[in-house]
Amino acid sequence: MSTEESGHVYRLHSTLELPLEELHEHFEDASLPPAITDVEITRRNNTLILKAVSDDETVSKYTPSAQLKASVTENRVYEEDPDERRNSFRWDEEEEEIESELVEFAAFKGDRETVLQNSLLQYEMFRVLCGIAEECEKGTLTAISERDGDLEATRIVDGEVRPADVEVVEGPRDRGSSQNGVDWRDNKFIS
């Protein structure tokens, strides 16, 4: 896998949703990272699995490559916003039925382990997810990843790439054990 990018995804949170039909259309002409030759899309009941197909033929077919996981939901889509219609002043007393249809959506919702699974080609499938996020009219993707030794922050909101920074803050483990908690070495109640 000489063409594989060196990278890792540390944190990821996604609330992305897009119509299933648009997702399939996205992959008709999507540019994939060099180490991925294809993305296999499999549906099991209401779960959609997008699995990376490696360009490295030395990888065993039993080695699980990275995959994206989405739930499939049906949402009613209206031709015009029903709230707007209800709030507008109407002359006629008879309410017209608003045209609508049921549309299946792929929802990539959750944290890293829920949405992005397995480590082989993980960073490359994260780049694929970023491409999907740029097609979504609804939802947010935030992540901290590392590429070639540098940390990167990613934030895509409603299909638009937004500025993002990695912020390092003091965590609970950084404060020292004697401030909050029991010092087990010098505890008079333990003999």
Domain-by-domain residue ranges, the chain?
7-79+101-166
Quick check: 64 pLDDT over 70?
yes
Per-residue model confidence as pLDDT tens digits over 98-132? 788 899 999 999 998 899 999 899 999 999 999 99
**Helix and strand totals (H; E) in the chain:** 4, 9
pLDDT of residue 92 exceeding 60: no
How far is Cα of residue 19 from the mean position of the Cα atoms in its chain? 15
3-19: pLDDT as tens digits? 445 689 999 999 999 99
Cα distance between residue 37 and residue 35, in whole Å: 7
* 21-37 pLDDT per residue, tens: 999 999 998 899 999 99
Classify residue 191 by its DSSP letter.
Answer: -
pLDDT at 4: 45
pLDDT of 1: 38
Using alpha carbons, select from 173, 175, 139, 169 the residue that is nearest to residue 157: 139
